[in-house]
Structure 1
Amino acid sequence: MHRTFRSITLALAALIALAVTACGGGGGGGSSGGTASAAASNNNVSTTPNGNTNATAHAANVAPITVDNGISGVPNMPFVSVTVCAPGTSNCQTIDHVLVDTGSWGLRLFASQLTSAAALPQQTDASGNALAECMQFFDGYTWGPVRLADVKISGETASALPVQLIDPNYAAVPASCSNTGTARNTPGALAANGILGIGVFKHDCGAACAQQAIAGTYYACSGTSCTSIAVEERLQVANPVPYFATDNNGVIVSLPAIAPSGATSVDGQLIFGIGTAANNGLGSATVLTVDAMRGVFATSENGTTYASSFIDSGSTGLFFATNQMSACASPNSDYYCPASTTQFSAINRGANGVASAVTFSVGNASNIAQNRAGAAALPLLAGPAFVGSTVFDWGLPFFYGRNVYAAIEQQSTPGGVGPYFAY
């Protein structure tokens, strides 16, 4: 998920053959420095950061990740459970199948799923305006009020954190919000029960929205009427990780390698902190710093440079534009359909000048859809959808067989001060 100034790239495309939805595509090679297990299976796959059993899966800074068919049968979607509480109380509720997204910043849950016991207070600005937010993606948007919650994931807590409650019935959706694609205002439309944005920034819009009103972002609402306004950063929907008491400088997404044919489900880990505990060391991972305003680096492939590239667990494959293979015939034209599985190579280059070679494979999406047989993890999906000529979206297939690190802006780590990605 990627927004242009603090981008969010939730790109939902349908493999019509099985009526599934995807967020990006591609297949990752081996890790340059991660310690994830390389075991592969056509069945369930499970690993921990050190390739051991799940005995340590519930350490205070570790949350289990599951890639499964979720609530809508969509492949390549990593999920965790998140607990939210009315601030300072024990009035809490745990929501499962929340999408883990390294390409966005902030927690978004559906108002329809919260009970009255877990009612969350409204966020207001210094003038007393009730704040609402529109989050626009490549192909759609979410809308709803900004509320305050104590956010708990495994043993970590962020107190009184601004979150978005997705609610299509809150006021009237402004035209400047709804003019971007499809409404993702129900779990079925989003293919998840929420989004956990834990990428490289602290807030989902940052200084841009603090300095001026930007249409399609934050609004002040009175009754059914909402007006675009500027919102200072401390009131914006926030990445919970930098607001944890410890393990707050970044995250690691650790998923095992899987066979090209896919897996029915995959178990991995979301690990909080980089170099803050025995289980989250940076090791020999390659650090690629990113543009401090947009969170992007450069990818070069087959003579083309994609200057606005990013690593995004919220996309279900690799999305990039190329003439090296054809898109599938309609209705699967969002994806590539090479005659046979084809391997490619690329170079990722960070703002720090560090380069990292990556190999990946792309399969025929129509054949994958026909032979999927319930597999939730599909490492060969790729497509041209949603992205322009400058974007290479390294989606979830890039994560299989790697530890992928996202270091948060202004936070110190063994690899330097964020923001950066490493793998």
Structure 2
Amino acid sequence: MVGSLPARSAAAAGPVVRRAGLGARQPQPIRAGDRPHGRGHPLHRPHGRLRRARLAAAPAARRLRPQGDAVSGARTLPRAQRWLAAFAAGASALVIAACGGGGGGGGGDSTAPPGGAAGVDSVAAATIAGSNVVQIRVDNGTDGSAVNSPFVTVTVCAPGSATCVDIDHVVVDTGSSGLRIAASAVPAGVVLPAEPVGGGNAWECMQFASGFSWGSVRRADVKLGGEVAANLPVQVVDDPAVTGPSIPVSCRSRGFDIGAGQGAKGILGVGFATEDCPGCSLSVAPNVYFNCTGAVCNSAALSLASQVTNPVAKFASANTNGVGIVLPDVPEGGAKVATGWLIFGIGTQANNALGSASVYTADGNGNFTTTYKGATRSGFIDSGSNGLFFNDSTFPTCGDFYCPGSTTALSAVNTGLNGTTGTVNFRVESVTAIRSDAGAASIAGSVGGGLAGSFDWGLPFFFGRTVFTARSGAATPAGPGPYWAY
């Protein structure tokens, strides 16, 4: 999501799943799949997230990556987002039923128990201790519908005070930068001061392929394990029908208001970039940041110091050059819960050494090369995508996801800009065959439009691996980012 590759527009993105808005007085978590995309823009890489209508429906594709290039600062449109909205769950159930899946476990997977294969209840990575570590939990989210969403708990405090709130089910997103939390997750007693701009207050229109998210920019002390990012600009996602100024026309024209979605209470962007829209410090053209006074909002440039910022870059410790994600392998059929670790820093202390990991440098958009079945594609690694997303016409599909008659073993070759090459072995399970309550499973789906030539290594890629994301320009033992290492 950083760099100088051509912008990928929302219009070019593949199938998009929409998420329900924030309901009045009812906590509505932000959907991890609604992520911004790319460079210099608050959007994130497309996440293909599955969302399931409780126990019966299959997961929905979700992608969180914003549009644009976060590293270079040149603003582009959000990359494709692959979240299936909660209100689309009924349609998903119909699609799955037509494919012989869903609650009945019929069709070619008739040997599986209702809802899919047996799988396991839980899997866990070995314990990693340290003040720079927080636990990741991959489960069904706050509403029971999430699949392949890596959640952490974030402590948010009024700046300089001990008045705090622990916010669970915040999605870890390596394809975006900055903390975004649902307003409903912050109690009235935790007062987060507004970020001033041009005589008013800063608001942000986060643009996704599936729509937009409107919220205020506020300051908070953000705590993750023993790490603290003090007085950090964050986005508080509000429902404008309940509070705040009216949505500007230039924001509303991006699509419908996805508000704060369901399944998560926030998104923790720990990607390559420091700020979420570097180009927005120079120009008001992107219509991303706004100066709002009362009910009137006008597009505004916003300094880098005031923009929604990657918390890792602002830690008081030395663990600021990137992150590592450690997740256990997930068996066929999936797992109800998978637990692992988010480690801050790369090569800064004993528990975050690169070790034997191979380093794959990326371009400004966070891409390297993936070769699959002889075809060269633009590849990227994205914890915010809830599946592997690539095009393969040999697979039957159920909605946006593949549903082969049996689990299929595959491989692809990744090549970094530095020439590092490695084969990745993976498997694709049918979305109709995984257990009905799976929080984690090895699933995959197709991509369309401008991403048709891409290979999105979503969360299933992380299973059984330690994957490092090095921030752009940050010094590490393997040289400066941006790079992936695993």
Q: Name the TM tier (shorter chain).
A: 0.7 to 0.9
Q: Cα distance, 1:178 vs. partner?
A: 3.6
TM-score (norm 1): 0.86
Determine the structure 2 residue equivalent to 1:284. Answer: 356
CA 1:297–1:317 in structure 2 vs 1: closer, same or farther (change >3 Å)?
Answer: same
Which of residues 43, 55, 62 in structure 2 aligns to 1:23? 62
Is 1:45 aligned with 2:84?
A: no
Determine the structure 1 residue equivalent to 2:67. Answer: none
Q: Distance in 2 between matches of 1:128 and 1:10?
A: 36
1:252 aligned partner, one-letter code = G
Determine the structure 2 residue equivalent to 1:153. Answer: 224
Which of residues 356, 362, 369 in structure 1 aligns to 2:422? 356
Q: How many residues align?
A: 388
Q: Cα distance, 1:179 vs. partner?
A: 4.1
2:224 aligned partner, one-letter code = I
Determine the structure 1 residue equivalent to 2:432. Answer: 366
Determine the structure 2 residue equivalent to 1:129. Answer: 200
Q: Distance in 1 between matches of 2:454 and 2:289?
A: 26
Determine the structure 2 residue equivalent to 1:177. Answer: 251
TM-score (norm 2): 0.75
Q: Secondary structure at the match of 2:414?
A: strand
- Identity within the alignment, %: 44
Is 1:346 aligned with 2:412?
A: yes
Which of residues 385, 390, 397 in structure 2 aligns to 1:320? 390
Q: What does the per-residue CA deviation read over 1:124-170, in whole Å, with 9 as the maximum and x for residues that have no partner?
A: 23x33311112222323321010011100000000111100000222
Determine the structure 2 residue equivalent to 1:421. Answer: 484
Q: What does the per-residue CA deviation read over 1:287-340, in whole Å, with 9 as the maximum and x for residues that have no partner?
A: 111113x22222221233222x32111111011223232322xxxx11112232
Runs of 4+ in 1 over 6 A off after TM superposition: none
Q: Report 1:170-319 matches (<5 A).
A: 170-180=244-254, 183-186=257-260, 189-206=261-278, 208-246=279-317, 247-292=319-364, 294-307=365-378, 309-319=379-389
Q: Distance in 1 between matches of 2:417 and 2:176?
A: 20
2:193 aligned partner, one-letter code = P
CA 1:177–1:324 in structure 2 vs 1: closer, same or farther (change >3 Å)?
Answer: farther
Q: Kindly indicate whether the alpha-carbon contact (under 8 Å) linking 1:274 and 1:407 is maintained by their aligned counterparts in 2.
A: yes
Is 1:401 aligned with 2:477?
A: no
Is 1:389 aligned with 2:452?
A: yes
Q: What does the per-residue CA deviation read over 1:385-413, in whole Å, with 9 as the maximum and x for residues that have no partner?
A: 68622322111100000001011112111
Q: CA RMSD in A?
A: 2.1
Q: Kindly indicate whether the alpha-carbon contact (under 8 Å) linking 2:201 and 2:293 is maintained by their aligned counterparts in 1.
A: yes
1:84 aligned partner, one-letter code = V
Q: What does the per-residue CA deviation read over 1:76-123, in whole Å, with 9 as the maximum and x for residues that have no partner?
A: 111111011111111111101111111110000111221122110011
Q: Kindly indicate whether the alpha-carbon contact (under 8 Å) linking 1:335 and 1:385 is maintained by their aligned counterparts in 2.
A: no
Q: Distance in 1 between matches of 2:297 and 2:376?
A: 41
> Greater strand share, 1 or 2?
1
Structure 1, unaligned runs of 5 or more: 26-40, 49-53
CA 1:144–1:194 in structure 2 vs 1: closer, same or farther (change >3 Å)?
Answer: same
Q: Cα distance, 1:225 vs. partner?
A: 2.5
Q: Kindly indicate whether the alpha-carbon contact (under 8 Å) linking 2:49 and 2:148 is maintained by their aligned counterparts in 1.
A: no
Q: Kindly indicate whether the alpha-carbon contact (under 8 Å) linking 2:140 and 2:263 is maintained by their aligned counterparts in 1.
A: no
CA 1:10–1:183 in structure 2 vs 1: closer, same or farther (change >3 Å)?
Answer: farther
Q: Secondary structure at the match of 1:43?
A: strand
Q: Secondary structure at the match of 1:367?
A: coil
Q: Distance in 1 between matches of 2:449 and 2:226?
A: 37
Determine the structure 2 residue equivalent to 1:33. Answer: none
1:362 aligned partner, one-letter code = V
